[in-house]
Amino acid sequence: MIMKNEPTSRDAIARLEGELGLTLPAEYVEFLLDQNGGLPHDNIFAVGDGNKSGVRFFGVETGHDYDDLGKTARTFRARLPSGFLPIGDDPGRNLIAIAASGPDAGSIWFWDHELEADEDEEPTRDNMVRMTATLSEFIAGLTLDPDADWA
């Protein structure tokens, strides 16, 4: 279950795609139409060698700077490799990204901000770890935070 944002529309998604110059993977569009981002009840994912973190998904036209997909995409555009879109973050402001194009389209990646390229360097995948082949696989792998206080 995901505590979702206010609903979005296909028109809002189309505006975002036009602004960003990319087409979102179909599975991600369906997620946005159904949930429009939000905080999953089970929100813990494993990264690399057993480290764990939590995820919050961004939404379209949420009205908040902290979880707005378009604003976040514009902020990180020059910091992520071409074809990647930030779709969520963790408490340390590392990103969960989706490959929006290319052979990995639809796959989910963890982007570590502490290992990103310097400002004068082109961003690469060197600070990224492929998590899953699909968004649904990533969501299915989330677990409950034992410290969460859910009502």
What residues does each domain of the chain span?
2-143
Q: How far apart are CA 127 and CA 79, in angstroms?
A: 11
Check whether 148 has a pLDDT greater than 70.
Answer: no
Tell me, what's the pLDDT at 87?
98
Q: What average pLDDT is seen over the chain?
A: 92
Kindly report the pTM of this predicted structure: 0.92
Confidence of residue 41 (pLDDT cuts 50, 70, 90): confident
**Cβ within 8 Å of residue 119, ≥6 positions away:** none
The highest-level CATH class for domain 2-143 is: alpha beta
Task: Compute the average pLDDT of residues 45-72.
Answer: 90
Element (H, E) at 10: helix 10-20
How confident is the model at residue 32, as a pLDDT? 97
Query: What's the length of the chain?
Result: 151
